[in-house]
Amino acid sequence: MRTLVVVVLMVVSGLAWGQANRPQTPVGPFPYESVEVAVPVLDRETGEESHSLGATVTMPDPDEFGDGPHPGVVLMSGSGMQDRDSTVFEHKPFMVIADYLTRRGIAVLRYDDRAVGASTGNTSGLTTQALAHDGHSAIRFLQSFEGVDPQRVGVMGHSEGGGHVAWIGARDESVAFLISLAGVGVRGVELMLDQTAAMFRDAGQSEAYIEESLKRRKAIFEAAIEGQGEDEIVELIAQLNMHEFGIEEMNDGLRSMSRQALPMYAGRWMRSFVAYDPREDWKRCGAPVLAMNGSRDFQVSTELNLHAIRDTLEEAGHTDYTVIELGGLNHLFQHADTGMLAEYGTIEETFAPDALVLIESWIRAKVMSE
């Protein structure tokens, strides 16, 4: 999950910071086959192909694991259009995960988000549900891939992708297992407010300032969810800016600036995201679930999200779920001192080895045990 504009800008600029020491990035030659593929995505209304996703399927070494069929997993990224490696600050966490699992007998499909890399399509009018549908299409593709066991294909999503895992699991009983990594567990508006509060507290803002900001931001998001007009929402954004920037009188310049911010608060993706509550889908999931968060994740906090997933599954009577809080890990599953954004690019570790071990051992227990 990338928090509004602040996080997006940091992710983009991180590539220019020169943080080149990434010791976990896999380097060939590899003891497995990598196949470049194009995943067709069918329009949910017409059934015709709307775009395709450029992807890599890594298949276990036949000399060690035989010709299969092998279990498999599809990796789904978080917010913001990302490449198949989920590259950020020169880290390639999805490449690290795919390499680790494939070396241990699990086929992995990872894909470029639409309009990124080798993928086609566009992001105009995109919704969080449309992104979930892209991931679902990748699962169907892997289920039909030669050498993969269709009955043992699962999905692993990070951040917003963790919410997509619930969306898919609630709609497709053929998905063998569901893994949420720092996944969203509450209604999107709750998450956005929680992120904002964490950033303001880290910046040293007073609780009174934070409370007022959250009240005004919630009003904007609720107006967007309710479908209020642009002028009404712009006025609410302007009032928020007056508070946060200490402006005492409304003026045309402030309204103009606030209108430019409209897509951030009320664009189609944001409307779909803040309105979506994955708890409604977690209730309907029947496949085994692994949900993991780091204790120092401020973007998708454990207390708010991981606990919500656990409580929802428990209340729904789900009997096969594992919920794990990993001490000292941040949103990217790096060992971290603070967990805040500024630290992401300075950490050499891409993905905590202990988290990789947990993921692999859990998958093995669910679909690879004798």
The ranges of the chain with pLDDT < 50 are 1-19
pLDDT given at position 251: 87
Q: Which ranges in 43-157 belong to alpha helices (H)? A: 62-65, 93-102, 128-143
DSSP string, 154-166: EEEEETHHHHHHH
- Superfamily for domain range 4-187+289-368: Alpha/Beta hydrolase fold, catalytic domain (3.40.50.1820)
| Whole-prediction pTM | 0.93
Q: Give the model confidence (pLDDT) of 93-145 as tens digits.
A: 999 999 999 999 999 999 999 999 999 999 988 999 999 999 999 999 999 99
Nearest residue to 287 via CA among 322, 244, 235: 322
Pairwise CA distance, residues 365 & 244, whole Å = 50
All CATH 3.40.50.1820 domain ranges of the chain, comma separated, are 4-187+289-368
The number of angstroms, rounded, from the C-alpha of 136 to the middle of its chain's C-alpha atoms is 14
Q: Which ranges in 149-267 belong to alpha helices (H)? A: 160-169, 188-202, 207-226, 230-245, 252-260, 262-266
Joined together, the tokens standing for residue 208 give 């009174």
| Chain position carrying tokens 């959250």 | 214
Pairwise CA distance, residues 157 & 303, whole Å = 19
Cβ burial, residue 127 (10 Å; 0-12/13-18/19+): middle
pLDDT given at position 13: 35
